[in-house]
Structure 1
Amino acid sequence: MHTPPAARITLNRDQLAALLAHHADTIAARWRESPGRSAWVAASALDSHAADLTADEETPAVRKLLDSMLSFETEHPAALSAPAVRDRVAQAIAADDGHPWETISADTQQHYRDNADAVLAVLPAPADRAAVLHEAADVAHAEAAHLYDDMGQKAAAGARLVGARLSRMADEAQQTEHPPESP
């Protein structure tokens, strides 16, 4: 019988580094099974990255990676529907005018909703999550070239891996935001 993994886990810094090192080792093992020198070079770079992750003293690149991952916000509040946003704005305007929402008539509530519509009409459209993630992936890929020059192959490989992950997240977001139409 298969027990599904926990939906949420908590890791400390050392555990996160060990998990990332294990991931690098797993990918390196796959690359070793591939033919050609480039696969061996990739596996060696991943071995080196895994060693850096579990070293007694953090390198600047590992410190930056772990700091970034540990401070990354994984919880994204569910997007509010347009009517929910409209009502929140209307309630905020009414409260600012000194009128608690529960104490005003339906006609007055509608007046505040109309005001909220006017406010919302001038705001920019919400960001397309997939587009933002694609842009971030492009930045990570471009940064990889700079990192190679400044910090070496391992740092560049890390940036490329981040770029690839962001690209996958963008593709997943695009499928969620714009599911393919069925025939």
Structure 2
Amino acid sequence: MSRIGKHPVPVPAGVTVQVAGQTVTAKGKLGQLSLTLIDEIEAKLEDGKVAVAPRNETKRARQNWATARTNIANLVAGVEKGFTKNLEINGVGYKAMVQGTDLILNLGFSHDVKYPIPQGISIKCEKPTAISVSGADKQQVGQVAAEIRAYRGPEPYKGKGVKYENETIVRKEGKKK
């Protein structure tokens, strides 16, 4: 039995959740998000909480029970507070800046990398070496942060590149004489 799936998702004040068939929609101050559940999972809205349960005892229903509950919890948290990923840039001359709807990255290439900022995502550069990606959809925030990091991932010898704020880079020893 799922330990996570058993617990209903509380709906805080300021957030409205609607369950229509297999679609769960959440509205809050940061926008509106919706999620379509698989047929083996059902969701019910009862006294300010969203309860998720499997329709039958198939393996697929049991596998997706807690996943569906977690995705609904992320919808509610996203429209209420939002999600943020912070990136750091290390390297001589490496920097980032936001120009209009593009993120401009100088990462040691012969050209600047232009990354178009998707809808629903806001990117801020407090310092030239710090990037903050935020939005309501947790999956989209993580995907955008991973795409930015992929342009120049951190290398193990000097630690140059783009890394997550809390990521630790395992450093290697250089050549010896």
Q: Normalising by structure 2, what TM-score?
A: 0.21
Normalized per residue, the structure richer in strand is: 2
Normalized per residue, the structure richer in helix is: 1
Q: Normalising by structure 1, what TM-score?
A: 0.21
**Rg comparison, structure with higher value:** 1
